[in-house]
Each structure stands twice: as structure tokens, then as C-alpha cells.
Amino acid sequence: MAITVVGSVAFDSIETPAGRRERCLGGAATYFSLAASYFCDVRVIAVVGDDFGADEEAVFRARSIDMRGIEHAAGKSFFWEGSYLDNLNEAKTHATDLNVFGAFEPKIPDAYRDSEFLFLANIDPVLQRRVREAMPQARLVAGDTMNYWIKDHRNALLEVLKGLDVLLINDTETRMLAGNQNLVQAARAVLDMGPRMLVVKHGEYGATAFHRAASDGVGAKPFRAPALPLEEVVDPTGAGDSFAGGFFGYLASQRELTPAAFRRAMFYGSVMGSFTVERFGTERLQQLTREEIDNRFGLFRELTHLD
Amino acid sequence: MAITVVGSVAFDSIETPAGRRERCLGGAATYFSLAASYFCDVRVIAVVGDDFGADEEAVFRARSIDMRGIEHAAGKSFFWEGSYLDNLNEAKTHATDLNVFGAFEPKIPDAYRDSEFLFLANIDPVLQRRVREAMPQARLVAGDTMNYWIKDHRNALLEVLKGLDVLLINDTETRMLAGNQNLVQAARAVLDMGPRMLVVKHGEYGATAFHRAASDGVGAKPFRAPALPLEEVVDPTGAGDSFAGGFFGYLASQRELTPAAFRRAMFYGSVMGSFTVERFGTERLQQLTREEIDNRFGLFRELTHLD
């Protein structure tokens, strides 16, 4: 099965206690695509500027990611600069230059139209909705968002949520979207907005899946995938998008979307997020093997296995 | 097997978004004892004042907790007042009146001396050490501490750590004790201070066990017990002490301290903490059944069970 993902492809300058990197390849669609590419075919819809060259293309090509939907526009690519010096769990943003991304009009190649899986990464909900409507054949649609859209573009976001099967956001976003500090109550309120399943990402503590009905998703009760306590966290950038890529990529690789498949997908999401943070930017995600991924899946299983 | 626990028996006035309670029975040794009492015999060493009367005694007696080590002194019992109005994960302390607890000199009844399990709840490390040395027959010794002792009584605390098998503290305390923000590195540094096993409590995200050697504790790798996402958190007071009581009480009920027993003990700790927060003070802990406890244990197992 193939996933089409729409989102940002960007350059990031990042500072963490482990060091600094200038203008490394980043963006939600980049992390998502690389993570998902270990499980299934991935097709990207994005826009980049003149600064996106052969080196960056080679990263996608090495993972056989379909780039026909990456539009090249005159100008510079989306640029983000941030640091995690005080707190590895929360980035301090120093610069966000939308550049060509500011006028992004997603264009869907005909070759993408048979994708059965669609991922709407964190972009303007108006664009998310447009892409979703242009791809009615997608049978499982998942998406992400962020505090900016929740606060200032709520109505557009609510329209997107109606068309989502799975929403993946973090604790703070869940509480903000629902206006409720209790995570379980907040999750129920978000599920009432449309998605059949809500995956709340807890950073270093893993993620929890909630769902509307017993027949959907992971089963009748919430399901928690742990995260491995990591010796070395070099750079948290992209961990959440890598979680989404591992989660959705694994689902797209499955013949049947059983509750057990959703639970394993949660673990694969945690696994891919845990690799990403071990190196700067996409460094670690570029050079994994499926064997390394499955070995870590085994570690995660052991981490909470009772007997 | 019997546990002897030394710690505070107190009165707490608590305010949370769910309401307010004046002078309810509290204290680390109280929460610990009640939680452990569902698994094994419990013997308490503490000091109380004139305000500790028949109603309070009845709470311990109903759970068959041995009170011969509770000294009655002239004056008032330890009193704590706190609120959780902004943040359910962190108490704001409004008053701490040590009262008779300020001159606490633990006295160990002869009838306690065959206890094979000893729990040193959060008190002055000088007293923790004295009790540990007076009970050399204890074959498993666990303890707790807090930021105050870590910061201002470090040398005395380091002496206690040398004699501990298991230290149970939270994330912040672990990082503070080690002077390292990375939890895995901090855990290793704490284990180098003496304890064979470190249980780091993550509040609503469960707890992780680390240990020095593969032959100790839960096995060769860290082990994480999840916490159930709770619909209603009424009052977080005592959750950590209840975790410790469930954890240590379950261990004391086991014939052999196998790695599997330690892993199950982590889950029972999480289970007892999850009950405590559902009501104010010790209300929920006073009226559980072993069946309710084991049912919730089953829910926690399912929460992260893959297949």
C-alpha cells in the first residue's frame, strides 16, 4: 500500500545541549516520509525553493520516496531555527521563515490518486481539507496539527477533524483543543469532534491511543505504547513526525487493520521516534535497517512485558 | 512476610479543583501502610500528637496494621496544608507544621524486629539510617526521600543510600540527586550511590525501574509500568507513597523475589497509586478489596499488551 503525505519540507538550524547544526534537512513531511519509508511506499506533496538541491533530493531518493509531488518554486524553502538548551522536551523558536511555503498550493500528481493512505501533516487546515477532498479514494486518513491552528484557525481545523480517521497530537494540544485539563475527558471531547481515533503523544513517556467505539482502532480501552528511556537524546526535532511515520507506515503495510495491528503500529511509532532523537535532524532516520527497527520493537515489547 | 515502615502520620488540609478537605488523615507512612496492607502484614513506626484519636486509630485497625510503634506525644501531630489548583501534578505547600514530628526519635518495638522487609519513608536521613542499623535482620530495604534532603542534607542521605536495596523517587528528584538532566544517565549515577534498584515515579505516566546488574531486580533492562489514564483525578496526595506500598507490599507477599515478581510489583505499585487519586486523602485506600485491585492489575496489563 502507498501513503501520500502532504506537509512541509524545510531547512532547520537547531541548537541542543549536544551541539548545533545549520540548515539541515527538516520539515514534518520529511521526517514522516523517511520513517514511513521503512514500511511502505511513500509519496510526498510539498513545495521547496531554489536551495533544495541534489543533496536533499538524494536523501529522499535513497529511501525510494516518490518526489513527483514536490513542487520547486522560485525563492527559498521554509526555514526554522530553534533551540532546546533549557528543556529537551520543548523547543524555543528563534525564527520561522515561511518563504515559498507561505503561498503553498498543494498539487496532487495523478500518479498519487490511488493512494489508500493519506497523511495530512501539520499545515494550514484549509490546505489539509482541500487535499483530503481531492483524494476521496483514501480509506484511512490521519493528520496532525499544532497550537497555532488550534488557537487562531479553530473553525477551519474543526472541518478537517470531521474527515479524519486518526488525529495524532501531543498532550498540550489535546488539552488546548478540548479546553479540558483532564486527558481522558479531553480525549473524549476531541473524539466527539470527528476522528475515530486519537493518538496522544507524550514525548519521552510514549503515547496513548483513545477511540470512539470498541469496534474501532486498538480495542475497547485506551492503549499505551511506552518509549524506551534513552541514554542519549541529541536532538528531539522531528520525533513526533517520525512517530506518525512509523505508526502510519506500519498500518499501510498490513493486509488487515485489526486492533492488534493498531497496537503494533503504536509501538512502531514509538520506535521510529526513539531513533530520530539519537542524532541531529534526519541523520539517524536516513540509515536504519528493518532489522534494527524490529530489534528495538522487541526491546519496547520487553520494557512493559510482565511474564 | 511483614513490613516495618517508618515515616510520618499526619493531618492534611488539601484543596484541589474537585474541592477541599480539612485535616484529613495523611502522612507517608499512612498511605504506605494502607496500600501495603492489602498484600502483607504491616507494622508502623511513627509519632502522633493528642489530636490523633479513636477515629484515626480505627482506620489503621480496620486494615489490621500494627500500631505498637506509633508513639503518642504531648502536642499536635504533623500538619500539612497544600493545594493543586493550577497543576494536579505538583502541590503548592501553604503550611508545614512539624509539631511532635520535629523531635521524632523512632522507637522500634521488639515485636517488629523479625520484619524481613523495611521501608524508610521520606523523613530525615539521619533517622532513616538509625532505623536501618537497628534492624539488621531486614533482607530487603527500600526508601524514599525528597528535594529538601537532597539539597540540604546530602551527606546524611548518601549514607542512607549505601544501605538501600531499592530507592523510590520521582523524575525531578532523580535528576536533582544525580545533577544530570538525562534520566538514564541520572539513574546510573544514583545506582552508583548504593541502591541495587531505582524506581523512578513519573506521576500520571507510570514508573520505570533501573538496576545495577542483570541479576538484580526486574531483569537486564529498564522496566516500565504504565499508569492508567484516569477519567477523574480528585486528589493526587499520597499517590507516590501508595505506589511504594503496593510495590513493596506485593514483594513481601512473594515466596521468591524473582525478576517477574519485581515486574508485577511495579504494576501493583501503579495500581495502588491510581486508586488513591480517585478520592480525597486515604478515602479510597480504606475501602478496597483484593478483587478490585486484581481487576485493575488486569486493566494495566491490557493497557500495553500487544497481541
For the stretch B1-32, pLDDT in tens is: 899 999 999 999 999 999 999 999 999 999 99
Cross-chain Cβ contact A233/B182 below 8 Å: yes
B223:A303 CB<8 A: yes
pLDDT of the residue at A215? 57
Separation in Å, CA of A295 to nearest CA in chain B: 14
Q: How far is CA A245 from the centre of its chain?
A: 5
Q: What percent of chain A has pLDDT above 90?
A: 85
| C-alpha cell of residue A82 | 530553534
In B, which residues are within 8 Å of A304 by CB distance? 223-226, 304
Using an 8 Å CB-CB cutoff, list residues of chain B that contact chain A. 17, 88, 181-185, 187, 202, 204-206, 208, 210, 221-226, 228-233, 260, 263-264, 267, 299, 301-307
Q: State how far the alpha carbon of A155 is from the alpha carbons of A159, B80, B125, B202, B217, in Å.
A: 6, 46, 56, 35, 52
Across the range A260-284, mean pLDDT stands at 96
Q: What does the pLDDT look like over B34-88, one tens digit per residue? A: 999 999 999 999 999 999 999 999 999 999 999 999 999 999 999 999 999 877 8
In a mutational test of the B interface, the residue from A304, A305, A307 whose CB has the highest number of chain B CBs within 10 Å is A304
Question: Would you say A165 and A195 are in contact if contact means Cβ atoms under 8 Å apart?
Answer: yes
Question: Distance, in angstroms, between B192 CA and closest chain A CA?
Answer: 16
pLDDT above 70: residue A257: yes
Q: Per-residue pLDDT for B150 more than 60? A: yes
Q: Is the pLDDT of residue B283 over 70?
A: yes
Q: What is the CA radius of gyration of chain B?
A: 18
Prediction ipTM score:
0.81
Chain B hits for A210, CB-CB cut-off 8 Å, are 229
pLDDT-derived band at A111, boundaries 50, 70, 90: very high
Write the pLDDT tens digit of every residue in B188-237: 999 999 999 999 999 888 999 999 865 555 556 889 998 878 888 899 99
Q: Write the DSSP string, chain A.
A: -EEEEE---EEEEEEETTEEEEEEEE-HHHHHHHHHTTTSEEEEEEEE-TT--HHHHHHHHHTT-EEEEEEE-SSPPEEEEEE-SS-TTSPEEEEEE-GGGGG------GGGTT-SEEEE-SS-HHHHHHHHHH-TT-SEEEE---HHHHHH-HHHHHHHHHT-SEEEEEHHHHHHHHT-SSHHHHHHHHHTTS-SEEEEE-GGG-EEEEESSTTSTT-SS-EEE--PPPS-----TTHHHHHHHHHHHHHHT-SS--HHHHHHHHHHHHHHHHHHTTSSTTHHHHT--HHHHHHHHHHHHHHT---
- Say yes or no for a CB contact (<8 Å) between A226 and B226: yes
From the list B264, B302, B306, which residue is nearest A267 (CB)?
Answer: B306
- Select the residue of B205, B231, B307 nearest A205 (Cβ to Cβ): B205
Spatial contact of A48 and A60, defined as CB atoms under 8 Å apart: no
| Span of A18-27, A262-271, B71-80, B228-237 with lowest mean pLDDT | B228-237
- Degrees, nearest 5: CA angle B87-B92-B97: 155
> A-chain residues within 8 Å CB-CB of B202?
205
The gap from C-alpha A80 to its chain's centroid, in whole angstroms, comes to 17
Q: Which of A224, A268, A296 to mutate to test the interface with B (most CBs of B within 10 A)?
A: A224
pLDDT > 70? residue A251: yes
For residue B49, the model assigns a pLDDT of: 98
Interchain contact, B299 vs A221, CB within 8 Å: yes
* Mean pLDDT on A95-104: 96
Q: Vertex A243, ends A282 and A72: CA angle to 5°?
A: 50
Output the pLDDT for position B235: 95
Mean pLDDT of chain B: 94
pLDDT of residue A306: 83
Please give the average per-residue pLDDT across A232-246, as a whole number.
95
Chain-chain contact of A231 with B182 (C-beta, under 8 angstroms): yes
- Rounded Cα distance, A97 and A80, in Å: 6
Closest alpha carbon within chain B to A207 = B205
Read off the pLDDT of each residue in A184-205 and give the average, rounded to a whole number.
Answer: 94
Chain B positions touching A202 (Cβ under 8 A) are: 205
CB atoms closer than 10 angstroms to residue A196: 16
CA–CA separation, B279 and B267 (whole Å): 20
Please count the other Cβ atoms lying within 10 Å of the Cβ belonging to residue B171: 18
Is the confidence at residue B296, as pLDDT, over 70?
yes
Instruction: Work out how many CB contacts closer than 8 A connect A with B.
Output: 81
Best interface-test mutation with A: which of B175, B224, B266, B267 has the largest number of A CBs within 10 A? B224
pLDDT at position A140 is 97
- Do A221 and B304 make contact, defined as CB atoms within 8 angstroms? no
A185–B231 CB contact, under 8 Å: yes
Closest-CA residue of A relative to B87 is A181
